[in-house]
């Protein structure tokens, strides 16, 4: 049995920087990873998907370049080269993360699967065989999430894809069925459509990105359908069947009718669940909720003193940037004696469809449900000078503001570089800058952010 000051389970976007900083602070630290250093973001999520989305966007722009007076001829997508580029970027990022871990004095990396075998005791089933037993004063759980696999008749009898396995395809699907019309499904659906796949998206709710306001969802639906992506909402999947490879029959109910669809590939994108089942949390008495998420307080500590949970394994927002922020909170609190909390922190995120959807704060739906005294400003991107100049006129900017204080409550930016524009508003919100000041702020011309002037001009004082 080996004793450490700190053990981190999971080498993701919280685990790696936390382990390094704790070791650098003089704490004898162990980090355990069952698969690959870097977690979902580097290996299966942010890094590889955004690399492939960049290729898809360029293919789309090339096909439509004649609108800007550039004639290219036939466009060929070299999918093997796209995958090779993606793989090279992932290796670069992962190797950098591994090098950082292995070169940090006082930090030991164990490759294997961890489980609690006592209150502050971890047993590791090593990938190379055998076991190691570790104890520590502090334990941090950063095991992330995995794809939800819904119970649909015949699903386990076909070779369905997840957000991980779809990026290992060697050829472009002929007809891709995406099950789920939210962030992951929409990014992959548009990407593979631009690579050349026929794409159908099935969503059980009345609209895609169902948590967003109706006008935002409708605008994105229109954009996707203009790219010949079939979007079917209010769809209930009933059954899958297959008699030969790359020929799958999906039976679903849409409205009152039962329908059948023949596709070559199926992507399951119906959400994610925490990876807690193998941790044996009952051994140390850690509380989880009904969905398996680890229950934490505002300092990210579980009900067991000295054991913390960070990132997607907690009930908080499942985004990489929150996992990283979790690391900064626990590190500063434990090592620097600070008193930071996750309570009240902003929730920015971006969906990397094209155009992007950048989101911060509350939606109009939220404001209405909370019975707030609010106003709404909407600016179509077709009115934005920079959008017209670049040929990026799809989508809209939308902001929710408090009528009396004039503070910005939230925004949805469905636009080219929507995530960057949203970040401008996030800083305004965190700095208490009101919309009437932004309305007359001097921005560089011509930029997308400059159009925030025009967005807030639509509001009367």
Q: How far, in Å, CA of 356 to CA of 394, rounded? A: 10
Among candidate residues 3, 60, 321, 445, the one labeled active-site is 445
Contact 445, 439 (CB under 8 A): no
Biggest CA–CA distance in the chain, Å, is 69
Q: Any idea how long the chain is?
A: 461
Task: Examine the residue annotation and report whether 445 is marked as an active-site residue of this protein.
Answer: yes
192: number of Cβ within 10 Å:
25
Q: What order do you get walking across the sheet with 374-380 strand by strand?
A: 349-351, 356-361, 408-415, 396-402, 374-380
Q: How far, in Å, CA of 367 to CA of 20, rounded? A: 41
Q: Which two three-digit tokens encode residue 276?
A: 């807690």
Question: Active-site positions?
Answer: 445
């Amino acid at each position: 049995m080996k004793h450490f000051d700190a053990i981190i389970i999971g080498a993701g976007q919280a685990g790696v920087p936390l382990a390094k900083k704790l070791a650098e602070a003089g704490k004898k630290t162990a980090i355990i990873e069952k698969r690959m250093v870097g977690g979902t973001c580097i290996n299966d999520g942010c890094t590889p998907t955004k690399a492939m989305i960049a290729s898809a966007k360029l293919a789309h722009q090339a096909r439509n370049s004649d609108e800007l007076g550039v004639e290219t001829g036939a466009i060929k997508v070299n999918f093997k080269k796209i995958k090779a580029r993606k793989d090279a970027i992932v290796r670069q990022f992962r190797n950098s993360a591994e090098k950082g871990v292995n070169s940090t004095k006082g930090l030991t990396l164990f490759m294997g699967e961890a489980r609690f075998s006592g209150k502050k005791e971890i047993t590791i089933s090593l990938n190379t065989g055998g076991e190691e037993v570790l104890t520590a004063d502090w334990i941090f759980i950063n095991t992330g999430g995995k794809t939800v696999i819904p119970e649909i008749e015949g699903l386990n009898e076909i070779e369905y894809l997840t957000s991980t396995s779809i990026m290992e395809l060697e050829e472009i699907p002929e007809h891709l069925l995406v099950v789920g019309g939210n962030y992951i499904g929409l990014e992959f659906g548009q990407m593979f459509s631009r690579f050349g796949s026929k794409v159908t998206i099935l969503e059980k709710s009345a609209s895609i990105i169902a948590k967003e306001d109706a006008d935002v969802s409708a605008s994105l639906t229109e954009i996707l359908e203009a790219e010949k992506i079939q979007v079917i909402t209010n769809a209930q999947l009933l059954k899958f069947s297959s008699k030969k490879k790359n020929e799958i029959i999906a039976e679903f109910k849409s409205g009152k009718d039962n329908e059948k669809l023949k596709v070559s590939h199926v992507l399951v994108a119906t959400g994610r669940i925490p990876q807690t089942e193998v941790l044996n949390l009952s051994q140390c008495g850690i509380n989880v909720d009904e969905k398996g998420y680890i229950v934490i307080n505002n300092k990210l500590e579980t009900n067991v003193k000295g054991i913390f949970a960070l990132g997607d394994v907690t009930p908080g927002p499942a985004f990489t940037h929150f996992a990283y922020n979790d690391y900064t909170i626990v590190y500063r609190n434990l090592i620097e004696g600070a008193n930071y909390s996750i309570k009240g922190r902003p929730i920015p995120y971006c969906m990397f469809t094209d155009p992007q959807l950048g989101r911060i704060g509350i939606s109009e739906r939220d404001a209405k449900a909370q019975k707030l005294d609010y106003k709404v400003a909407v600016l179509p991107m077709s009115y934005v000078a920079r959008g017209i100049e670049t040929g990026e006129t799809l989508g809209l900017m939308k902001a929710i503001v408090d009528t009396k204080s004039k503070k910005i409550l939230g925004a949805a930016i469905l636009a080219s570089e929507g995530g960057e524009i949203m970040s401008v508003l996030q800083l305004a919100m965190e700095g208490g800058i009101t919309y009437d000041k932004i309305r007359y702020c001097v921005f560089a011309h011509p930029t997308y952010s400059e159009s925030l002037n025009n967005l807030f001009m639509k509001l009367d004082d």
